[in-house]
Structures are given as C-alpha cells and as structure tokens.
C-alpha cells in the first residue's frame, strides 16, 4: 500500500492532522529516524539538537518493565528506547528495520534462517551481546503462560550457531512475517534475573534506565550503543500523569513537550496554546465479548441481533466526541490488509428484532459488564438503551480491568463484556491481531469459550494456511478469516478508535524548546521517540 506521498507502507496509512504555526509535515509520513549521532548533534532536517531533556506526559503506569512479559503501554513505550530485538518495528507504518541483526535473515531452506548479530553490539553494562542471549530471551518470551506465546507460535526454535549467529526454525514453510515476529523478542542478558528485568531492564538500545518511580521514569544515553539512532539529549523523562487534566495542563504549560492520549475535548485547548496535534486511526478497539457458553449467546442470531441493535453513530458522537469509526472489518479501513467483511453491522433495530424472532428467544434480564475505561463507561449507557429497546433488561456492572477479568476467568457466568483492547502495540499484521483474541488462549478458552466450535477450528485452519502464503493468495485467506468472525461475532469491535498526541513540534514552549520535526504520533498506545530529540 502507498501513503499520500507515494511511499510504500507495509501496514497502515498515517492520518496525522498537524496544527500549529508553520506545520512541516502536512499529511505526509516522516520517518522516526535520523542518522547515528551523539549528544548535541544534528536532528531531523538539519535542526540543531538541544541536548536537553525530552519530556513526555504519559497516560499509563506500571510496575512491570520486563521486556519478555509486559503488556503495559508505559513499559512498552519506554522499552522501545532501551531494549532491541533482532528487528524493530516503526510504529508509524509497521515497517521493519534491522536492530540487533546485521541485516536481513539468510534463508537456508524453507523453514530455516540464519541471522547475524550487529558487529560489536554490547549491553549498556558493557558486556558483549552473544547469540545465547537471543536464545534465552526467546525462551523467556515463549515461556508457558506468557501472553506473547500465541504471537510467537510461527517460530519453532532459535538456537546459537556460534557467538554471533542464530539459527531460526519456523513452524511454517516460507513464513513471510519472520522479521515482524522476531521484533517481539527483546534481547536481554542471559544472566539477568526476572526480578531485575521487571524492575529495571538492561538492554542494547540508545538509552538506558536511570531512575524509575511511581511519578516518573528517567532514561539516560547508553554509552555502549553502536547502532543507527544514538541519543542526542541528556535525558528522556516520562511523567506519569494518568489524570487527563493533569496531563493536558503539563503540556499546555510546556512542562511536557509531548502529551500522550489527548482527550477529544482538550484538542482545541492545546492547539490554542501552540501545540501540534496528530490524530491517527489505529486498531484500538472498544469490543463486545459474548459468553457463548451461556444461552442465549450460544445462538449466533442473538449475537448478530445485538450488533445490529447498537447506535454506533450516536456512541461515536456522544462517548468519543467523533474520534472513532464504525468497523466494516476486523481491521480498520486504513490498514493495508483491510477488506470489507461479509457482515457489516449498522444501527438497524428492525433487523435486530427480526433476528431475535428467528432465534426463537424471549429477551430477559442481562448484565453488561464493563471495565472502568472512560470511553467504555460512556458507551455503556447508549448500549443499555439500545438493548433495552430490543426487549432486554440491561444492568451495567463496571469494575477495574483486573477485577473484571479475575471474575470472568474465575468462572463467573457473565452475559456481555464491553472493554478496550489494542494488540497493535506488538505489531499490525492480520495473523498477530487475529491471534490476540482468537488464538487458542485465555480469551477463547476461559472468557468467550468459543474454542470448541467448528467455526473456531475452521478459523484456525485458515489462519495456519495464510502463514505459508504470500501476496494476493495470503490476502484472500485472511479475507475469509475476517468474514468468518464477522458472521459469528463471539468477540468483535464495536468501535475502532483514533489516538491523539500533542507536541511542541512546530512552535517552541516558554523555554524556547521544541521536539524535532521527525516526531509524529502513532495509532497505538505509547510514544515513539527513536531518532527524536529536543531542538532550540
């Protein structure tokens, strides 16, 4: 797929809306790179790096920074700068680049590849990176019970050929997504304990952790980094500001140069202050999950009826201030592999009532479980009204994500769940995104419990088939997957949201500092800072 500038994109189009004085990017895609450099060197477009502190107001907090187990938006965002895989993703377009690898994998046969390590690569503690570190890191990420396991299924094994070369075996011949999957495995020292990695990981990236507290996370340059994107500032500081008002205020006052997850009702406020705004359509979903082991949700017509009963436009307007889209596929329209699904749901109460009649059920009292995400809570009121109009008597039960999933995993006979989710922080190819929810994992085994259906078996047959295909043939198989889940809707997007990031990019803050013009917001959670610096 090509973006508006005619550049090849491997995953999605950037839909940045830049505002502020002298916007430099328009709608084009600007890479997050820049050449290798040192503190105080040149940044993008010949800008002079200020060598200061790059500050980010982050919307998330965590206690787990372990690169092989974390799913925290803050940890994943900070770890982008600290740890590397053999390959890394550019989260603006999901293209891959060599990181700890010296270049592309060398094909030995249809299921065997060799990857050479970057010459002279060292961890930030000064120890040499060896092939065994890659092997042990893969084992950590692929350990039983880890959330990364389903994403790494296509990789059968990684072994050390010698100190600077690994041999990768794939579970499928001619696997076309090898670099994307290897990017999930972040390489850490074999000698590091899980406790050390959870608290403060050691890596090979351009930055290393200095201090981690509940209030902030500080990074400093890694003196042993020998890759392409050397640090140009003295520090990166993430200010943990989960409260949106505090986060917006810090950005407006210039305390933070970048503001993550700008609320829709604060966009004009930040524009007026001089910040640039990037709004990107991402994969992030607000999804509905059905307990298909419980009547009437075991009847696909009832599940379809619920999806037709929802007033999507009103939810987008009232709950998300227009910052979302109605799904016409499991993937958003801006994604490379998008294809309109065979079932596209729109607000149609008559269609919903007809399906209820065909199903032969009488709607009764049900509980809509939700997490405490602000958008989800706002959406739940509309969903209750829509399902009440269909004849159900809906009670809403809202709790934290942890409490919600603990109850469901513990066997609670819930009815419906409305919650947020976004696995595109790990990648954006259809197989990865399908496997997050529809893999043979906790979602399908304990939560939705759809894994013993013939449709689930068919879905996995198609997903496996696609992994050995390429090009149009592969896309046709993925299209069948999209159709199948749209028709069965055991778990399906209700809305696909846009992510908004604010930055002092085109104008300077009160101290005369900006972020370099190569900074752009991304469509998933987190902030991409590779190659970015402060400028004066």
List the domains of the chain with CATH numbers. 84-187 (3.40.190.10), 283-498 (3.10.105.10)
Mean pLDDT for 87-109 is 98
Position 4 confidence tier, pLDDT thresholds 50, 70, 90: very low
Mean pLDDT for 192-206 is 98
* CA torsion through residues 19, 518, 235, 264, sign: positive
Structure tokens at 525: 């959670």
Instruction: Tell me the residue length of the chain.
Output: 536
Judge whether residue 19 has pLDDT over 90.
Answer: no
pLDDT of residue 402: 87
Judge whether residue 343 has pLDDT over 80.
Answer: yes
pLDDT of residue 49: 75
pLDDT of residue 145: 84
Residues whose CB falls within 8 Å of the CB of residue 57, separated by 6 or more in sequence, listed in order: 239, 241, 246, 247, 250, 251, 255, 256, 258, 259, 260
Mean pLDDT for 78-102 is 98
Position 35 confidence tier, pLDDT thresholds 50, 70, 90: very low
Q: Are 451 and 307 in contact (CB under 8 A)?
A: no
* Distance (Å) of CA 214 to CA 60, 251, 526: 11, 19, 17
Q: Where do we find the tokens 């328009």?
A: 26
pLDDT digits (tens, 9 = 90+) for 162-186: 999 999 999 999 999 999 999 999 9
Position 37 confidence tier, pLDDT thresholds 50, 70, 90: very low
Residues whose CB falls within 8 Å of the CB of residue 374, separated by 6 or more in sequence, listed in order: none
β-strands 393-399, 216-221: how paired? unpaired
Mean pLDDT for 451-471 is 97
pLDDT of residue 504: 99
Of 59, 2, 504, 19, nearest to 239 by C-alpha is: 59
Q: Where do we find the tokens 């950005």?
A: 251
Structure tokens at 20: 């502020």
pLDDT of residue 374: 87
Q: Where do we find the tokens 């149609």?
A: 348
Residues whose CB falls within 8 Å of the CB of residue 442, separated by 6 or more in sequence, listed in order: 409
Instruction: Compare 39 and 381 and report the one with higher pLDDT.
Output: 381
Q: What's the mean pLDDT when you consider all of the chain?
A: 91
Q: Where do we find the tokens 């949700």?
A: 297
Q: Where do we find the tokens 């996995």?
A: 460
Judged by DSSP in three states, 179 sits in helix
């Amino acid at each position: 797929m090509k973006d508006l500038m005619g550049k090849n994109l491997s995953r999605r189009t950037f839909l940045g809306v830049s505002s502020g004085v002298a916007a430099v990017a328009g709608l084009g895609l600007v890479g997050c790179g820049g050449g290798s450099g040192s503190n105080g060197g040149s940044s993008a477009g010949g800008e002079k790096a200020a060598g200061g502190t790059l500050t980010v107001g982050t919307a998330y907090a965590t206690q787990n920074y372990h690169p092989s187990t974390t799913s925290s938006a803050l940890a994943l965002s900070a770890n982008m700068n600290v740890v590397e895989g053999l390959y890394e993703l550019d989260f603006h377009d999901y293209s891959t680049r060599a990181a700890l690898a010296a270049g592309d994998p060398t094909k030995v046969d249809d299921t065997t590849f060799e990857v050479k390590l970057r010459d002279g690569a060292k961890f930030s503690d000064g120890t040499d990176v060896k092939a065994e570190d890659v092997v042990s890191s893969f084992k950590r990420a692929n350990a039983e019970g880890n959330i990364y396991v389903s994403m790494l299924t296509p990789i059968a094994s990684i072994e050390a050929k010698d100190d600077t070369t690994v041999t990768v075996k794939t579970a499928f011949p001619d696997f076309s997504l090898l670099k994307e999957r290897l990017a999930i495995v972040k390489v850490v020292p074999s000698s590091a304990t899980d406790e050390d990695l959870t608290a403060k990981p050691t890596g090979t990236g351009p930055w290393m952790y200095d201090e981690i507290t509940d209030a902030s996370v500080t990074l400093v340059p890694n003196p042993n980094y020998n890759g392409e994107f050397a640090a140009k500032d003295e520090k990166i500081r993430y200010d943990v500001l989960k409260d949106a008002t505090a986060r917006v205020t810090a950005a407006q006052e210039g305390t933070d140069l970048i503001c993550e997850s700008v609320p829709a009702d604060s966009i004009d406020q930040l524009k007026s202050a001089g910040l640039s705004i990037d709004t990107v359509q991402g994969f992030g979903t607000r999804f509905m999950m059905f307990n298909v082991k419980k009547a009437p949700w075991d009847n696909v017509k009832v599940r379809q009826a619920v999806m037709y009963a929802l007033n999507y436009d009103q939810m987008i307007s009232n709950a998300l201030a227009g910052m979302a889209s109605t799904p016409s596929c499991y993937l958003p329209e801006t994604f490379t592999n998008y294809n309109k699904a065979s079932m596209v749901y729109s607000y149609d109460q008559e269609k919903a009532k007809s399906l209820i009649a065909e199903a032969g059920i009488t709607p009764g009292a049900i509980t809509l479980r939700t997490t405490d995400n602000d958008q989800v809570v706002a959406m739940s009121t509309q969903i209750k009204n829509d399902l009440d109009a269909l004849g159900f008597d809906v009670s809403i039960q809202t709790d934290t994500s942890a409490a919600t999933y603990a109850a469901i995993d513990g066997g609670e006979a819930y009815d419906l769940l409305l919650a947020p989710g976004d696995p595109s922080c790990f990648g954006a190819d259809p197989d990865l995104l399908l496997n997050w929810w529809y893999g043979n994992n906790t979602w399908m085994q304990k939560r939705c419990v759809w894994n013993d259906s013939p449709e689930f078996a068919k879905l996995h047959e198609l997903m496996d088939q696609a992994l050995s295909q390429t090009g149009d043939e592969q896309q046709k198989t993925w299209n069948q997957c999209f159709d199948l889940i749209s028709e069965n809707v055991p778990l399906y997007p209700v809305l696909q949201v846009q992510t908004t990031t604010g930055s002092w990019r085109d104008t300077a803050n009160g101290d005369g500092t900006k972020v370099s013009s190569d900074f752009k917001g991304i469509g998933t959670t987190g902030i991409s800072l590779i190659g970015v610096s402060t400028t004066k």
